[in-house]
Amino acid sequence: MTGKRGRRLMRMRGLVRKEFLQVLRDPSALAIAFVLPVVLLLLFGYGVSLDAERVPIALVVEKPTPDTNSFCGELEQSIYFEPIFLHGMAAAQQALMEGQVDAILHLRADFSDRLRRPGGASIQLIVNGIDANTSRIVNGYVDGVYAKWLEHRAMQLGQPLAEPVIVEHRIWFNANVRSRNYLVPGVVALIMTLIGSLLTALLMAREWERGTMEALMVTPVSMLEVLLGKILPYFVLGMGGLALSVVMAVWLFAVPLRGSIWVLLLGSSLFLLTALGMGLFISTVTRVQFVAAQVAIIATFLPAFILSGFIFDIGSMPRPIQWITQIIPARYYVALLKTTFLAGDVWSVVVPNCAALAVMAMVFLGITRLLARKRLD
């Protein structure tokens, strides 16, 4: 029995060594594992932003007064706007039609007079509604600047600011409202998806095309040993990509890591095993690199990008789509990552998502084991 176990360990060691050598000698595998994470993190960390800053806005003041000058000065000091003073609404509307500005702020001639009346003064805001998200953000920013200006004005005049309801804003977990803190953890999920499923599916299919897999079939190794020999090296490769991604997220992009590193490692290990199972399943079924790449992108990467809550809120999706997201492994991993990075170890979130990933890992690895047979048909 000991001799049989020893021979099995020797075969496993040989298979793992072969996989590591194959990865090290394959520039494409190293690029997917270590270069692609850097590119994606730099792209989403620096190049992609959901924040609206320096929004060009047209200012039309019918009658300049100290009050209008004060309000325009408050607007100019805001980091969110880049005011452009125009004469007349016709010029402002033309600029909005041509895309030179995203909004028009119109102060009527009786602005100062109405400020001194009980009802107060109103401002007219016209926003380009083509991008609904940006229009809502601009509307909220203008409301905030106007409320802040009214508060400053009341303090200067020594008057109390008449407010029927005082709202105290308190933002949890992402106090600075930086979209980078929201995007970078989601990019980590994309990176782990690419390393786990796409890389594994491509390299396994390549072995079928080159005939090296057939060479393994005539050796004493079992199919279980072949699968384990594939999983272990790519698991190490995936965890290396995770370490690189976390270091860049924390030290380069200043994304807080408030949760335990052990929780992050546990959740990432479960998701990586799930992704490896999906990649092995795809390669077992297809055995062709082109087909494996197409299936892996459609079945793993696109759902991880669109249906995981990475960018698009799942709660805002139609109910049938929300049901479909229940079978997307990246959904649970994205929720786990965002909670671990921004909120900490919230066990009511960590435990269910880790359990879901564990079940999915067992399902995909189990299906792959059932379908993988030591035969050439």
* DSSP assignment of 52-101: --SEEEEEEESS--HHHHHHHHHHHH-TTEEEEE-SSHHHHHHHHHTTS-
Q: In sequence order, which residues have a C-beta less than 8 Å from that of residue 231 and are 6 or more positions away? A: 273, 276, 280, 365
Model confidence band, residue 3 (pLDDT cutoffs 50, 70, 90):
low
Distance CA 185, CA 84 (A): 37
Is the predicted pLDDT of residue 337 greater than 90, yes or no?
A: yes
Of the CA atoms within 13 Å of residue 202, those in its CB half-sphere come to 20
Tokens matching residue 160: 């109390």
pLDDT average, residue stretch 342-353: 92
Query: From edge to edge, which strands make up the β-sheet containing 81-85?
Result: 81-85, 55-61, 103-107, 124-127
Q: Per the structure block, which two tokens stand in for 201?
A: 């599916």
Distance, in Å, from the CA atom of 136 to the CA atom of 167, rounded to the nearest integer, reads: 19
Alpha carbon distance 340, 334 (integer Å): 10
User: 10 Å Cβ neighbour count for 104?
Assistant: 22
Averaged confidence pLDDT in the chain: 84
- Higher pLDDT: 7 or 87? It is 87
User: What phi and psi values does residue 59 have, to the nearest 5 degrees?
Assistant: -110, 120
**pLDDT tens digits for range 198-256:** 888 877 777 777 777 777 777 777 777 878 888 888 898 889 989 999 999 999 988 99
Most confident of 7-16, 101-110, 174-183: 101-110
pTM of the predicted structure, to 2 decimals: 0.81
Q: How far is Cα 374 from Cα 279, in angstroms, rounded to an integer?
A: 18
Confidence of residue 335 (pLDDT cuts 50, 70, 90): very high
Superfamily covering domain 55-157:
abc type-2 transporter like domain (3.40.1710.10)
Residue 125: strand pairing partners: 105
* Residues 223, 280: Cα–Cα separation, whole Å: 12
Domain boundaries, the chain: 2-48+178-371, 55-157
